[in-house]
Amino acid sequence: MDNITGKTILIVEDDEDVCSLLQHLLSGKGFSLSFAKDGQAATDVITSGSPPDLILLDIMLPIMDGFEVLAKIQSLEGWSDTPVIMLTAQDTADDIKRGFRAGATDYIVKPFPHDELIEKIMSLL
């Protein structure tokens, strides 16, 4: 686990309960977390900061949806190589295809097995 200590994850999620769950799951593993509650806040982080080691991105967000945020991530040098896991309730085949075509590294549907999320994160870092 030493290789993940201090690794940074940007969580773009508007649901407080999901944010609390992710904070509990991931901070206990040694990850450094930051949060954006809507698409505009995520875009502000993306355009003003350095990239995290990984991004967890919801699709259904206020102001700007996750696909728009992902397009912004993909357009910026230094950010486009950042692994992005779409973590969303959008579970249709079209949504999943759209996520991968837009540049998502992985796609997890809520509700999700906690161990699966941890394993996917670990495999990308």
pLDDT of residue 21: 97
How do the pLDDT tens digits run along the chain, 125 residues long?
457 778 999 999 999 999 999 999 999 888 999 999 999 999 999 999 899 999 999 999 999 999 999 999 999 999 999 999 999 999 999 999 999 999 999 999 999 999 999 999 999 99
72: closest CA among 108, 97, 41? 41
Helices (H), the chain: 16-27, 39-48, 66-75, 93-102, 114-124
Asked if residue 33 lies in contact with residue 22, where contact means CB atoms within 8 angstroms, the answer is yes
What pLDDT is recorded for position 91?
94
Pick 2-124's CATH classification: 1.10.510.10, 3.10.180.10, 3.40.640.10, 3.40.50.2300. Answer: 3.40.50.2300
Q: How far apart are the first and last CA of the chain?
A: 11
Helix (H) or strand (E) holding 21: helix 16-27
- State the DSSP code for 3: G
pLDDT score for 1: 46
Delimit the domains of the chain by residue range.
Answer: 2-124
Per-residue pLDDT, 28: 87
pTM score of the predicted model: 0.94
CA distance 118 to 102: 23
The pLDDT of residue 4 is 73
| CB contact burial 73-87 (16+ within 10 A = b; e otherwise) | beeeeebeebbbbbb
